[in-house]
């Protein structure tokens, strides 16, 4: 087994047996959904039939089997790779293997983003079927965002202990198993399954960034990280809206949750194109696969260079940088899940028409992809550090504009300009924040550190929903007052503690991060 090229590892039969059990368990929920389709797609009050109970039992057996099957028999010995670094030479070109990885991991990010994006589309149908109030329905996005926050920590930790690919595969399998959320007959069970679905999907984002940073050639790493991440985010929202348009009118809101089943299976089918970080291949004795990495990706063992003489003290610098990125992520999450999420409601309360509110949402989608393209170009061609700071300052300018007197902001062109600054700033900020985090931490903690930043970027949604339960709905001016100081502080901290990563190898960056 030491020389075997394997997708999972020594216990691959158990992993795939668990996957089959999970797939069969999900399929056994479909007869009840088919029956509900003849009755207006409603399951409320219907008792679960024997097939559903059998399906849940198979999933309960399959999930632990898949987890045990994916994990190696012995915990990787990280001492075996101490002082060893792997990276492709600077002049390594992109190959078909790189292209395959980019396509598969972009698909993974699209699938990951679809779930939180789907929340807004299922809520109206769910409220109508269960007959629940808005305050009760708000529990769904709350538990979903709480799940993604928890998942970011869990999968980041798992990726640092057992490997990047293991973390992605297990996240995918749990994502498939929780697609039965669409078959739950009660709202309480929907909340439970939605939390677990959030946990399973929450770790995909930081682990994908971490893996891409480790397998891409240095000169292509920066633009690939930003472009793939941004495309995955935008693609997820477009996929969620497209699925809602195609399937919800005919099959109801429940069908949107079931998308996790075929999309998750597709990602598993493409698992052979997901590489493992070379460090974990060495620690597990998978020398054949390590040699395959050299052939396909040009990755070889390379000496770790000494840290730059002008680098600040590593421990102090890393603490300050972590504080800066966490504050930035938290501030972004409050702007995105607080101010922008409730912005249409605030505008209508100000007397603007619903058409204008809808137009703002549409403009957000239109500027998202161009903003990401520009951010990717600036990040890779100009400066990674100052591109991140620039997106923070754009968001800060939007917040400052929101502090203008209400009478002044009532002029539509000025209001649109302020909102455009917020939209462009936040879209650019999230596109570069996680790539920058993935580049700035040592290999041993890269997954956990990126997971911490990812979790911080979602925690604001949890806090905003808690405030909404208490009737504290964010307004444009109120949110600006609360966020302008932490957003400004984050820009100052990044300017002080941030490092320039453009054009620098991970070996050099990691050497500078070592205490």
Residue 352 has pLDDT above 80, yes or no: no
Residue 465 confidence (pLDDT): 72
pLDDT score of 313: 45
Quick one: pLDDT band at residue 12, thresholds 50, 70, 90? confident
Mean pLDDT over each residue of the chain, to the nearest integer: 79
Confidence grade of residue 476 (pLDDT, cut at 50, 70, 90): low
Which of 106-115, 319-328, 356-365, 409-418 has maximum average pLDDT? Answer: 319-328
For residues 289-318, b (16+ Cβ closer than 10 Å) or e, as one string? Answer: bbebbeebbbbeeeebeebeeeebeeeebb
pLDDT confidence of residue 58: 94
Q: What pTM was computed for the model?
A: 0.78
Share of the chain above pLDDT 90, in %: 10
Find the DSSP H helices in 163-259: 164-177, 187-202, 204-215, 218-251, 254-257
Q: What is the mean pLDDT of residues 276-294?
A: 83
Task: Please give the average per-residue pLDDT across 268-274, as a whole number.
Answer: 88
Compute the distance between CA of residue 370 and CA of residue 33 in angstroms, rounded to an integer: 40
Helix (H) or strand (E) holding 296: helix 287-297
Higher pLDDT: 81 or 276? It is 276
Instruction: Point out the least confidently predicted range of 57-71, 157-171, 261-275, 417-431.
Output: 417-431
Torsion of CA 427, 335, 190, 62, to 10 degrees: 50
pLDDT above 50: residue 252: yes
Q: What is the rounded CA–CA span in Å between residue 168 and residue 207?
A: 7
Q: In whole angstroms, what is the distance from residue 273 CA to residue 168 CA?
A: 12
Q: How many CA atoms does the CB half-sphere of 85 hold within 13 Å?
A: 18
300 strand-pairing partners: 87
Counting Cβ atoms within 10 Å, is residue 512 exposed (0-12), middle (13-18) or buried (19+)?
buried
- pLDDT tens, position by position, 172-186: 888 888 888 878 878
Rg over CA atoms, the chain? 23
Helices (H), 335-445: 343-349, 354-381, 384-402, 406-409, 412-439
Which residues, other chains included, contact 143 with Cβ-Cβ below 8 Å and sequence gap of 6+?
Answer: 191, 194, 195, 198
pLDDT for position 385:
92
The tens digit of pLDDT for each residue in 368-402 reads 668 778 888 898 889 999 999 999 999 888 888 87
Cβ(244)–Cβ(99) below 8 Å: no
**What single DSSP character describes residue 252?**
-
Q: Does the pLDDT value for residue 419 go beyond 70?
A: yes
Confidence of residue 44 (pLDDT cuts 50, 70, 90): confident
Q: Classify 448 as helix, strand or coil.
A: helix
């Amino acid at each position: 087994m030491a020389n075997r090229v394997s997708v999972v590892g020594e216990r691959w039969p158990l992993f795939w047996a668990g996957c089959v059990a999970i797939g069969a368990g999900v399929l056994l929920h479909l007869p009840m959904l088919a029956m509900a389709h003849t009755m207006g797609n409603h399951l409320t009050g219907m008792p679960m039939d024997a097939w559903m109970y059998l399906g849940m039992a198979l999933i309960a057996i399959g999930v632990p089997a898949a987890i045990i099957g994916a994990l190696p028999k012995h915990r990787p010995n990280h001492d075996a790779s101490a002082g060893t670094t792997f990276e492709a030479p600077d002049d390594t070109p992109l190959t078909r293997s790189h292209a395959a990885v980019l396509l598969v991991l972009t698909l993974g990010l699209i699938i990951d983003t679809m779930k939180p994006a789907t929340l807004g589309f299922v809520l109206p149908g769910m409220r109508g079927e269960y007959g629940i109030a808005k305050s009760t329905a708000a529990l769904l996005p709350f538990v979903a965002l709480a799940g993604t926050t928890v998942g970011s920590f869990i999968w980041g930790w798992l990726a640092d202990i057992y490997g990047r690919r293991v973390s992605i595969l297990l996240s995918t399998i749990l994502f498939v198993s929780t697609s039965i959320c669409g078959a739950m007959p009660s709202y309480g069970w929907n909340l439970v399954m939605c939390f677990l679905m959030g946990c399973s999907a929450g770790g995909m984002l930081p682990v994908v960034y971490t893996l891409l940073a480790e397998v891409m050639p240095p000169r292509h790493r920066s633009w690939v990280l930003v472009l793939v991440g941004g495309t995955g985010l935008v693609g997820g929202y477009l996929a969620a809206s497209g699925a809602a348009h195609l399937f919800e009118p005919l099959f109801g809101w429940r069908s949107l949750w079931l998308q996790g089943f075929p999309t998750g299976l597709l990602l598993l089918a493409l698992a052979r194109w997901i590489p493992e970080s070379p460090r974990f291949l060495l620690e597990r004795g998978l020398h054949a696969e390590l040699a395959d990495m050299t052939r396909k990706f040009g990755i070889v063992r390379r000496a770790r260079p000494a840290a730059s003489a002008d680098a600040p003290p590593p421990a102090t610098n890393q603490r300050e940088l972590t504080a800066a990125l966490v504050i930035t992520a938290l501030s972004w999450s409050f702007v995105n899940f607080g101010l922008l999420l409730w912005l249409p409601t605030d505008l209508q309360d100000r007397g603007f028409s619903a058409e204008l509110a809808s137009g703002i949402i549409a403009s957000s989608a239109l500027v998202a992809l161009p903003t990401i393209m520009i951010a990717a170009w600036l990040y890779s061609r100009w400066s990674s550090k100052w591109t991140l700071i620039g997106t923070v300052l754009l968001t800060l300018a939007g917040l400052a504009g929101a502090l203008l007197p209400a009478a002044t902001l009532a002029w539509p062109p000025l209001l649109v300009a302020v909102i455009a600054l917020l939209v462009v700033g936040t879209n650019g900020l999230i596109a570069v924040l996680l790539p920058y985090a993935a580049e700035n931490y040592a290999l041993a903690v890269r997954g956990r550190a990126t997971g911490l930043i990812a979790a911080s970027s979602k925690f604001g949604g949890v806090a905003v929903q808690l405030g909404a339960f208490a009737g504290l709905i964010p307004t444009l001016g109120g949110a600006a007052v609360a966020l302008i100081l932490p957003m400004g502080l984050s820009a100052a901290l990044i300017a002080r503690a941030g490092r320039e990563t453009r054009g620098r190898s991970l070996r050099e960056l990691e050497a500078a991060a070592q205490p």
